[in-house]
């Protein structure tokens, strides 16, 4: 597929929070990463408002295991701490395949649509472990990114058959990726086959809930936006040195 990248992301712990567990304050992780979490990791590798990342598939490399840890989060409305129990994934490791498409909701950035340069910078960013800090769900779960070929190596669930995970959170649709004014949440029903989960595209999800209305963020060249041409030139000048 055009404009595709492949990488492996891993860490000591992961916490892809099941929204139902947020009600009581004691977080419990999903068994698998959500589309939104993997999209966030991919955007931490490389992102521009000109493009939208789509997660094609993920391969679960290590066995799904959890570990309960006692934590003391700060109370927001009074002094002191609460004792909570968070359930984390232990030693998560995933191979991810993703691609980008241009954001058609941003015609104002059409001058920045150079897929060759975006793709080259994205691949370079993968090789260097990403541009921003990588988190496996939440900030306390540090992750690490490396380049890989999707499907290489032995995975724990190779030849395992199918596993269904029921309804779970898929991701958010931000205004600039949807109708331009609505922030929405999506749900879906994932199935893992031989360790691989192939994601529905956001527009294919049939359970969508509107959260609120909000305007699209504006980007202006030279103010809060750097074009891919300028960035590409500065990056590859460094390589030539």
Tens digit of pLDDT per residue, the chain (241 long)?
A: 789 999 999 999 999 999 888 776 788 999 999 999 999 999 999 999 999 999 999 999 999 999 999 987 776 666 767 788 899 999 999 999 999 999 999 999 999 999 999 999 999 999 999 999 999 999 999 999 999 999 999 999 999 999 999 999 999 999 999 999 999 999 999 999 999 999 999 999 999 999 999 999 889 887 889 999 998 888 876 554 4
For residues 197 and 190, the answer to whether their CB atoms sit within 8 Å is: yes
Question: Could you tell me if residue 19 is inside a domain?
Answer: yes
Res 19: pLDDT: 86
Question: Could you tell me if residue 241 is inside a domain?
Answer: no
Res 240: pLDDT: 46
For residues 27 and 13, the answer to whether their CB atoms sit within 8 Å is: no
Question: CA 47, CA 64: separation in Å to the nearest integer?
Answer: 29
Range of the domain at 62: 4-169+192-202
Question: Could you tell me if residue 213 is inside a domain?
Answer: no
Question: Could you tell me if residue 9 is inside a domain?
Answer: yes
Question: CA 100, CA 114: separation in Å to the nearest integer?
Answer: 12
Number of domains in the chain: 1
Res 102: pLDDT: 97
The reported pTM is 0.92
Question: Could you tell me if residue 219 is inside a domain?
Answer: no
Question: Could you tell me if residue 92 is inside a domain?
Answer: yes
Query: Residue 71, Cβ neighbours under 10 Å: how many?
Result: 14
- CATH code: domain of residue 143: 3.30.70.2660
Question: CA 133, CA 41: separation in Å to the nearest integer?
Answer: 9
Question: CA 216, CA 174: separation in Å to the nearest integer?
Answer: 8
Closest CA to 103 of 187, 202, 36: 202
Res 149: pLDDT: 97
**3-class DSSP assignment, residue 171:** strand
Question: Could you tell me if residue 40 is inside a domain?
Answer: yes
User: How do the residues of the chain divide into helix, strand and coil, expressed in percent and rounded to 5?
Assistant: 20, 35, 40
């Amino acid at each position: 597929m055009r404009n595709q990248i492949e990488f492996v992301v891993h860490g000591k712990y992961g916490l892809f929070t099941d929204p139902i567990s947020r009600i009581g304050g004691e977080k419990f992780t999903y068994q698998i990463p959500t589309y939104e979490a993997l999209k966030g990791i991919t955007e931490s590798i490389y992102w521009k408002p000109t493009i939208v990342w789509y997660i094609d598939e993920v391969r679960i490399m290590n066995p799904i295991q959890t570990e309960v840890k006692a934590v003391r989060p700060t109370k927001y409305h009074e002094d002191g701490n609460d004792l909570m129990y968070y359930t984390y994934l232990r030693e998560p490791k995933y191979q991810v395949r993703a691609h980008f498409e241009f954001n058609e909701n941003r015609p104002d950035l059409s001058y920045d649509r150079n897929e060759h340069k975006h793709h080259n910078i994205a691949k370079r960013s993968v090789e260097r472990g990403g541009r921003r800090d990588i988190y496996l769900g939440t900030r306390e779960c540090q992750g690490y990114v490396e380049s890989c070929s999707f499907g290489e190596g032995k995975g724990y669930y190779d030849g395992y058959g199918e596993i269904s995970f029921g309804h779970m959170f898929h991701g958010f649709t931000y205004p600039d990726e949807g109708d331009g004014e609505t922030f929405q949440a999506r749900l879906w029903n994932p199935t893992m086959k031989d360790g691989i989960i192939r994601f529905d595209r956001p527009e294919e999800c049939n359970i969508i809930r509107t959260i609120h209305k909000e305007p699209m963020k504006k980007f202006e060249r030279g103010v809060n936006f750097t074009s891919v041409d300028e960035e590409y030139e500065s990056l590859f000048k460094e390589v030539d040195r």
